[in-house]
Structure 1
Amino acid sequence: MRKYNKTLLAAAFIAAFGLAGCGSDGSDGADGVDGVNGVDGADGADGTNAGLTVTTVENAYDYNLTLDPADIVVVGSDPFSIKFTVTGVGTGNAEVPFSGLEKIALYVTSQSENTTDTGAPMLWTNHALANDFGSSMYCTPTGTAVARGGAEVEACTLVEDAANPGTYTGTWAHDGNAPVVLTDGDANDLVRVMVRTYDVVNADGTGISDKILSTPLDFIPATGELAVSEKDSVSNAACIKCHSSLDGYADTDMRIANIDAHHNYQKVENCVACHNPAYAGGQDDEDVGFNANFNAMIHTIHAGHHIADSLTGEAAELFGEIGFPSELNECTACHDNGTQWNDNVYEEACVSCHVDVDLATGENHNGIVPASDAVCSGCHGAGSLSPVEAHNVGVRAMTTDSIVFAVSNVTYAEDAVDVSGVMQDQMSITFDVTVDGSPIVDGFDFADYANYDEIKTGTVDADGTYYVGTSVNLSGVVSSGGQFVVTKVADFNVAGQTIAITPRFSVCADSDAQLIACQDASGEDQYAVEYVAVTMDTKYWNLANADGSGANIARQSVPSMVTADEAKCSTCHTSLGIAKHYGNERFDQCMGCHNNTWGGSYHVAVEYKTDAVDEDGEPVFETIEGLTYNNRDLMTVSHRFHSGLWDDNRGFPAINLNADMETQGYPAVATECSACHKDGMDIFAADGGLASGKRAIAVNSAGTQFISPVAESCRTCHAHSDAAALAHFKANGATVEGEPDTTADLPVESCATCHAEGKTYGIDTVHSSVAH
Structure 2
Amino acid sequence: MITIFQRFLKCSFYFSPLFNLVFLFIISFGLIGGCGGGGGGGGGVVPPPEVTANKLNVEILDATISPDRNPIVTFRLTDDEGDPIGTDGVSMNWIISRIERGKSEYIDYITRVQTSPTTGESAVQAGSESSSDGSFQNLGNGIFTYTFNFALPEGFDSNITHTVGVYATKTIGSQRFVSNATFDFIPAGGQISTVRDIVRIETCNTCHDPLEAHGGARRDVKLCVLCHSTEIEDPSSGEIVEQIDPGTGNNIGFEIMIHKIHYAEELPSVQAGIPYQFEAFMDQILDFSHVAFPQDARNCTKCHTGATQSDNFKNNPTRNACGSCHDDVNFVSGTNHGGGIQLDDNNCSGCHITFFGKEFDLSVEGSHTIPVKSAQIAGVNFEIVRVESAETGAPTVKPGEHPKVTFNITTDLGETIQPTDMNFLRLTLAVPTREYSGQDYNGDGEIVSGDPTSPWTPGGENYIQATLNVPGATEGPDADGNFTHTFTAMVPNDASGSGAVGIEGYKCATVQGANQRRGGIACSSPPNSPDLNGNGIEDVGEVFNEVRFAGHNVVSYFPITDEEAVPRRMAVDTSTKCIACHGVFSRDFSVHGSIRNDSEYCALCHNPSHDTLSRQLPAVGETALTNSLDFKVFIHKIHTGEDLTKQPYLLYSPPGGTFPNQSERAVNFGEVRYPGNTADCEACHLRGTNVLIPGTGVLGDDVLPSTNHEFVRGFNTKTITETFFTQPVISVCTSCHDSLGVSADGEALTGEGHAAGPQAEGDCVNCHIAGEPLGVEEVHLPPLLPEERIIRPQPVD
TM superposition score category, shorter chain reference: 0.5 to 0.7
Q: Which residue of 1 aligns with 2:315?
A: 343
Q: Secondary structure at the match of 2:409?
A: strand
Q: 1: distance between equivalents of 2:748 and 2:193?
A: 54
Q: 2: distance between equivalents of 1:195 and 1:573?
A: 33
C-alpha change, 1:601 and 1:667, in structure 2 (3 Å) is: farther
Structure 1: stretches of 5+ with no match in the other structure: 1-58, 116-121, 142-154, 245-256, 415-423, 606-625, 658-663, 733-746
Query: Does the CA-based 8 Å contact 2:410-2:416 persist in structure 1?
Result: yes
Q: Secondary structure at the match of 1:699?
A: strand
Q: Which residue of 2 aligns with 1:322?
A: 291
1:114 aligned partner, one-letter code? G
C-alpha change, 1:568 and 1:410, in structure 2 (3 Å) is: closer
Mapping 1:429-508, distance limit 5 Å: 429-440=405-416, 445-447=421-423, 450=424, 453-460=425-432, 463=434, 465=436, 467=438, 468-477=462-471, 483=481, 485=483, 487=485, 490-492=488-490, 499-508=499-508
Q: 1: distance between equivalents of 2:152 and 2:700?
A: 57
1:194 aligned partner, one-letter code? G
C-alpha change, 1:602 and 1:236, in structure 2 (3 Å) is: farther
Query: Does the CA-based 8 Å contact 1:126-1:135 persist in structure 2?
Result: yes
Q: Structure 1 residue 710 and structure 2 residue 710: aligned?
A: no
Q: Secondary structure at the match of 2:766?
A: helix
Aligned-residue offset at 1:298: 0.9
C-alpha change, 1:655 and 1:196, in structure 2 (3 Å) is: farther
Indicate the structure whose relative CO is greater, using CA pairs within 8 Å and at least 6 residues apart.
Answer: 2
Q: Secondary structure at the match of 1:272?
A: helix
Q: 1: distance between equivalents of 2:744 and 2:249?
A: 44
Stretch of structure 1 that moved more, 333-342 or 438-447:
438-447
Query: Does the CA-based 8 Å contact 1:300-1:352 persist in structure 2?
Result: yes
Q: Which residue of 2 aligns with 1:420?
A: none
Stretch of structure 1 that moved more, 130-139 or 235-244:
130-139
Q: Which residue of 1 aligns with 2:162?
A: 191
CA offsets, 1:607-665, max 9 Å, x none? xxxxxxxxxxxxxxxxxxx99763211111110000014237558968635xxxxxx62
Q: Secondary structure at the match of 1:320?
A: coil
Q: Which residue of 2 aligns with 1:580?
A: 591
Q: Which residue of 2 aligns with 1:301?
A: 261
Q: 2: distance between equivalents of 1:750 and 1:262?
A: 40
Q: Which residue of 2 aligns with 1:753?
A: 766
Mapping 1:240-319, distance limit 5 Å: 240-244=205-209, 257-259=210-212, 262-263=215-216, 265-278=218-231, 288=248, 290-307=250-267, 308-310=270-272, 312-315=274-277, 318-319=287-288
C-alpha change, 1:387 and 1:692, in structure 2 (3 Å) is: farther
Mapping 1:329-728, distance limit 5 Å: 329-337=298-306, 338-366=310-338, 368-370=340-342, 372-382=344-354, 383=358, 384-392=361-369, 396=373, 402-408=379-385, 429-440=405-416, 445-447=421-423, 450=424, 453-460=425-432, 463=434, 465=436, 467=438, 468-477=462-471, 483=481, 485=483, 487=485, 490-492=488-490, 499-509=499-509, 518=523, 519-522=529-532, 523=534, 524=536, 530=547, 532-541=549-558, 552-556=565-569, 559=570, 562=571, 566-577=575-586, 578=589, 580-581=591-592, 582-600=594-612, 630-644=627-641, 645=644, 646-647=649-650, 656=670, 665-681=673-689, 683-687=691-695, 690=698, 693=701, 695-700=703-708, 706-722=725-741
CA offsets, 1:228-285, max 9 Å, x none? 87432221121111102xxxxxxxxxxxx24455435111111112211226998999
Mapping 1:225-244, distance limit 5 Å: 230-244=195-209
Q: Secondary structure at the match of 2:106?
A: strand
Q: Which residue of 2 aligns with 1:67?
A: 60
Query: Does the CA-based 8 Å contact 2:522-2:545 persist in structure 1?
Result: no
Aligned-residue offset at 1:341: 1.2
Match of 1:79 among 69, 86, 106: 69
Q: Which residue of 1 aligns with 2:135?
A: 158
2:557 aligned partner, one-letter code? Y
Query: Does the CA-based 8 Å contact 1:503-1:536 persist in structure 2?
Result: yes
Q: Which residue of 1 aligns with 2:35?
A: none
Aligned-residue offset at 1:695: 2.6
Aligned-residue offset at 1:436: 1.5
Q: 1: distance between equivalents of 2:83 and 2:371?
A: 46
C-alpha change, 1:302 and 1:140, in structure 2 (3 Å) is: closer
Q: 1: distance between equivalents of 2:171 and 2:245?
A: 42
Aligned-residue offset at 1:171: 4.0
Q: 2: distance between equivalents of 1:762 and 1:124?
A: 47
Q: Secondary structure at the match of 2:762?
A: coil
Structure 2: stretches of 5+ with no match in the other structure: 1-51, 114-122, 233-239, 279-285, 392-399, 439-461, 515-519, 524-528, 618-622, 654-664, 710-719, 752-759, 783-792
Q: Secondary structure at the match of 1:439?
A: coil
Aligned-residue offset at 1:301: 0.6
Query: Does the CA-based 8 Å contact 1:464-1:552 persist in structure 2?
Result: no
Q: 1: distance between equivalents of 2:126 and 2:744?
A: 48
Aligned-residue offset at 1:406: 1.1
Query: Does the CA-based 8 Å contact 1:511-1:528 persist in structure 2?
Result: yes
C-alpha change, 1:643 and 1:234, in structure 2 (3 Å) is: same
CA offsets, 1:191-229, max 9 Å, x none? 22112346x443x6x7x635x44321223434366x687
1:278 aligned partner, one-letter code? E
Q: 2: distance between equivalents of 1:330 and 1:640?
A: 27
Q: Which residue of 2 aligns with 1:109?
A: 97
Query: Does the CA-based 8 Å contact 2:703-2:728 persist in structure 1?
Result: yes
C-alpha change, 1:396 and 1:362, in structure 2 (3 Å) is: same
Aligned-residue offset at 1:344: 1.3
Query: Does the CA-based 8 Å contact 1:458-1:499 persist in structure 2?
Result: yes
C-alpha change, 1:111 and 1:512, in structure 2 (3 Å) is: farther
Q: Which residue of 1 aligns with 2:109?
A: 127
Q: Which residue of 1 aligns with 2:789?
A: none
C-alpha change, 1:442 and 1:336, in structure 2 (3 Å) is: same
C-alpha change, 1:356 and 1:507, in structure 2 (3 Å) is: farther
Aligned-residue offset at 1:428: 6.0
Q: Which residue of 2 aligns with 1:253?
A: none
2:411 aligned partner, one-letter code? V
Normalising to structure 2: TM-score of the pair?
A: 0.65
Give the helix-richer structure, 1 or 2: 1
C-alpha change, 1:487 and 1:139, in structure 2 (3 Å) is: closer
Q: 2: distance between equivalents of 1:470 and 1:443?
A: 19
Query: Does the CA-based 8 Å contact 2:504-2:595 persist in structure 1?
Result: yes
Q: Percent identity?
A: 20
Normalising to structure 1: TM-score of the pair?
A: 0.66
2:409 aligned partner, one-letter code? V
Q: 2: distance between equivalents of 1:87 and 1:269?
A: 19
Q: Secondary structure at the match of 1:68?
A: strand
C-alpha change, 1:391 and 1:678, in structure 2 (3 Å) is: same
C-alpha change, 1:586 and 1:442, in structure 2 (3 Å) is: closer
Q: 1: distance between equivalents of 2:749 and 2:376?
A: 49
